[in-house]
Amino acid sequence: MRFKLVTVVAAIAALSFAAAGPAGAQSLGHAKPAQVTGSKLFATLLPASAFGMGFTRGSWGNTGNKLATTRAKDHIPSLSCNYFESHVFWGFLGDTAGAALDYDNPNWAPAFPNTIISGYEDVLQFATTATATTLYSQERAKYVACRTFTEPGPSGTTAQVSTLSVSNTTVSGHRAFVVTELASIPGYRPLYFTFLYVYSGTNVYSLENFGGTTDKPSVTLMGTMIHRIQTLYPHK
């Protein structure tokens, strides 16, 4: 029943990579923040099993073994609601590295609606904290603007997606926001998308759940993911 599309780039070579000096999540005085590659970010993401017993890995991807160009190929303010909300982006928004993993629950049906059907985790790394802040703010503004839109549903149906709330919060002291959306599909019970976005240093993190309840993604798991990824960067 999952119809949210997680975009996985078929040809990583199509990305325009650029060599970058040392430059991540912690500022080192006047030096550029450290940067790591997409493949390293991906290797540090939480395993699918962290999200539930029996959960399996679905689609996945990352920007590879080199830092990507900071030239953005997509600009969130100009994207349609359908396109923005049915894709996971990495390597296209000016991020120097990114990684995403889609997780699926093959045994969701017996416990529905009190269950997660699927979801994803992702992280985008930027060259500066200013760029990361801008992207975080643009994403929040886009969810606020996209109050109602349609997208393809299962078995040839059309789903109407309505934003129920966009609210600010914090995760381990970092700025964050939560989005709750209702997906109405003819012939199906109500379904919900819930998103948790966190800004920390030069990185923007997100988790998404798709299922029968409005339970938001786990703050604990988000904190664990952030901690795991921050271990990749040098600290004072």
pLDDT given for residue 32 in this prediction: 57
Q: Is residue 155 part of a domain?
A: no
CB-CB neighbours of 72 under 10 Å: 14
pLDDT given for residue 124 in this prediction: 95
CB-CB neighbours of 49 under 10 Å: 12
Strand stretches in 126-212, DSSP E: 148-152, 158-171, 174-184, 191-200, 203-211
Q: Is residue 73 part of a domain?
A: yes
pLDDT given for residue 210 in this prediction: 93
Residue pair 163/143 in contact (Cβ under 8 Å)? The answer is yes
Angle at 183 between CA 189 and CA 213, to 5 degrees: 65
**Domain of 141?**
31-146+200-230
* Residues in the chain where the model's pLDDT stays below 50: 1-31, 236
State which amino acid sits at residue 190. P
pLDDT given for residue 25 in this prediction: 32
* Cross-strand pairs, 60: 101
Domain of 89: which CATH number? 3.40.1000.70
CA-nearest of 95, 104, 94 to 60 is 104
Contacts of 3 (CB under 8 A, 6+ apart): 151, 152, 153, 154, 159
Q: Is residue 172 part of a domain?
A: no
Count up the domains in the chain and report the number.
1
pLDDT given for residue 87 in this prediction: 67
Q: Is residue 90 part of a domain?
A: yes
